[in-house]
Amino acid sequence: GRRRLHRSEDRNTAQSHGKTTRVARPLSENDVGPFNSIFMATALKAVGIPGTSVEREDAALSLAQSKPVVLSPEQRQVLELVAPLPNPSRMRIMLAGKPVSGKGTQALLMAKKFGVPHISVGEMIREEMKARSDLGLAAAERVAEGELLPDELILSILHRRLERDDCSRLGYILDGFPRTRAQAEAMDRENIVIDRVIYLDRPDEDALFWSRGRATDPVTGVIYHDVLNPPPEQISARLVRRSDDQRATVAKRLKMFNASFDEVYGRWKGVMKRIDSSNRRTVMEVFEDICGALEDLIPREESTNWRAFGSHRSTFDVTTVADVSEIKERIKELDRFVTRRMQNAKEGVMTRGALLRAVEQCCAFSLIRQQEEDPGKYLPFRVGTDQIGYVGRSLAADLISANSPGDAEFLVTLEACSIDGWSRIAGSVELSPSILDLPICQRTLRIGRVMERLHSAGRIQGWRNELHPVAVDYNSETLFEIERACLPYFGLRGYGVHVNGYVRNGGEILIWVATRSRNKPTYAGKFDQLIAGGLPAGVSLLENVAKEAVEEAGLELRHMDELRSVGSLSYLYETRKGLSCKALFLYDLELPLDDFIPKNLDGEVEDFNLLPARTVLKSIANNLDAWKPNSAVVMIDFAMRHGLIDPCSEPDYLKISSFLN
């Protein structure tokens, strides 16, 4: 990986330092066009370009004008660090930190590096103050007293800014907002999405010290400090000091920030990265850590996937004036179509990575990788020559004592080392040949007794008194039947049905969401499909769908006319019980809007709610723990098939699609 630019005794950053920040391209002295001289001067100063600030700006200007300048390896490395990426990285970032923690400086670097607009609520307010508008005069009085402006006013200004085209396409760096719990709650109501919070943590004393000597050059925008970053003598007279940098005012703001930190930013702790921005660290050290914290949000592909419609249109052979008019009208229609579709896609924007996480929790487990990391954790379970599952190491040991004395149902070989100590003897669990000689009903009985002993000993939990058929494949001959609760303990594939019940109201899709009974042995109180259940022994697929439809949702036969088979979903993931291996048969059922209200008859559902599809997706994105894991994935599959998740707005679209397939 790239060598660290600086060393520090105490990094205390939340991100891994092993990642490498992707550089746009190899940077040469003659290829720095995207930089302006002031921006480059700041970077050059950070790595020790000798001379005064003016001389550094001259050197930077020479670079910007493609004039050769000799750079040391360290200086070149810094310029590569701040070089813009080849494609804008669509990020929705919140830059948080105490007053005088370096947000303004870092926001400039981030905006240029990642191609993301910098939205400073403070700057917007200060522009009003500078213009001495009615708003500006009122704001100046409150700011001078260290008070905050009304939330409604700030939100109105912010919302208008975020609706502009650059923020819709490129994302945003939100600086200086929110500052109160009410503002944070208002962001939730307005669906202002945040992918990552960068929290610049500067000790209070460092912030107070910076505020006492801070001054800004109104011509260049460079921030100086009397001690830490002295300005050149020739510009000292024009420097501007902020009215809210008085020690008492800053101390009051620091106290307010510290007291309200958890209630304001607590809701984003899952996406927050803490960056040490104390005075002992340079600007570039802090910026390098920020780049590391944002690494996982940078698309790996050379081109981004949130702009499905590029600017490249087909060319036409123009022969007449009528042809020209027709082409212009067709281009206008295309533009209107793109605008309309992009607006619809924008309404469906979710927190980056949220839907992918929902799918990964069921579909991303790799048994091969698990066995490589911990050989022997799961022992293959065989019936004859066929492997049908995996048994955890500890349960395999318990099977030995749970077997019937003198006539074991399971033959267990635990993993061991050979006599020479160099080779490993793999373990396994096999169904005894004597059990295979029995009829299926007697096999089921003998195996069931062993399972009951394990259940009595507390090794198998969630007993349901429901037998599940076990076979090599879905349509192959049943080998035996086993209590459904035992399936994950033996890594056996279970089968089930999930039915997405939905209605159409004009052009909108609404989905019936069930809340599982709090008395259920598994996933009690979690959200689920309208109809869902395992496939018990002796019941066909359609019989099971009809049975669950009546018992769980009170459907009548006339409601089942629109039932459509739409595929299957297979997955394997690790639980505290073992390996959950499932194959779900999926159905869509369009129901009437005004002629159906579900009613549970078997006590397994607490209630039903008819919700807009986008509300359901937001629930999965923002409150995944409230959902039964496989039901969340089935819902995402439904949304993908019905065009409710759009590649224009979902950066993880291809990954999600790959996992589902």
- Lowest mean pLDDT of 419-428, 508-517, 527-536, name the range: 419-428
What is the pLDDT at residue 411?
94
pLDDT band at 308 (very low <50, low <70, confident <90, very high): very low
- Identify the bridge partners of residue 590 per DSSP, sorted by sequence position: 502
Q: Which amino acid is at 300?
A: R
DSSP element (H, E) containing 74: helix 73-82
- Lowest mean pLDDT of 18-27, 96-105, 352-361, name the range: 18-27
Query: Is residue 453 flagged as an active site residue?
Result: no
Query: Is residue 618 flagged as an active site residue?
Result: no
Mean pLDDT calculated for residue range 391-409: 92
pLDDT band at 445 (very low <50, low <70, confident <90, very high): very high
Question: pLDDT tens digit string along 605-652?
Answer: 999 999 999 899 989 988 899 999 999 999 999 999 998 888 877 888
pTM above 0.95, yes or no: no
Q: Tell me the C-alpha distance between 512 and 510, whole Å.
A: 7
Helix, strand, or coil here: 619?
Answer: helix
- Choose among 51, 547, 20: nearest CA to 288: 20
Mean pLDDT calculated for residue range 446-467: 93
Encode 140-151: b = buried (16+ Cβ within 10 Å), e = exposed. beebeebeebeb
Q: Are 589 and 563 in contact (CB under 8 A)?
A: yes
Q: Are 167 and 117 in contact (CB under 8 A)?
A: yes
Query: Is residue 253 flagged as an active site residue?
Result: yes
> Which of the following is catalytic: 103, 443, 446, 484?
103
Q: Which amino acid is at 656?
A: I
Q: Tell me the C-alpha distance between 271 and 392, whole Å.
A: 34
Q: Are 356 and 656 in contact (CB under 8 A)?
A: yes
Residue 536 has a CB neighbour count (10 Å cut-off) of: 18
Asked if residue 29 has pLDDT above 90, the reply is no
> Which of the following is catalytic: 253, 446, 516, 582?
253
- Lowest mean pLDDT of 294-298, 377-381, 551-555, name the range: 294-298
**Ordered alpha helix ranges (H), 457-553:** 541-553
Q: According to CATH, what is the number of the domain 352-362+493-660? A: 3.90.79.10
- Lowest mean pLDDT of 274-283, 317-326, 612-621, name the range: 317-326
pLDDT band at 565 (very low <50, low <70, confident <90, very high): very high
- Lowest mean pLDDT of 110-124, 338-352, 502-516, name the range: 338-352
What is the pLDDT at residue 27?
36
CATH fold for domain 88-297: Rossmann fold (3.40.50)
Question: pLDDT tens digit string along 46-71?
Answer: 444 444 444 544 555 454 444 455 56
**Going by DSSP bridges, is the β-strand pair 386-392/378-383 parallel, antiparallel, or unpaired?**
antiparallel
Query: Is residue 4 flagged as an active site residue?
Result: no
> Which of the following is catalytic: 56, 92, 179, 618?
179
> Which of the following is catalytic: 19, 242, 252, 341?
242
Q: Are 100 and 211 in contact (CB under 8 A)?
A: yes
What is the pLDDT at residue 159?
77
What is the pLDDT at residue 10?
34
What is the pLDDT at residue 11?
33
Q: According to CATH, what is the number of the domain 367-488? A: 3.30.750.160
Question: Which is higher by pLDDT, 77 or 476?
Answer: 476
What is the pLDDT at residue 150?
79
pLDDT band at 129 (very low <50, low <70, confident <90, very high): confident
Q: Which amino acid is at 76?
A: R
Query: Is residue 393 flagged as an active site residue?
Result: no
How much of the chain, in percent, has pLDDT values that exceed 90? 33
What is the pLDDT at residue 452?
95
> Which of the following is catalytic: 92, 196, 202, 214?
214
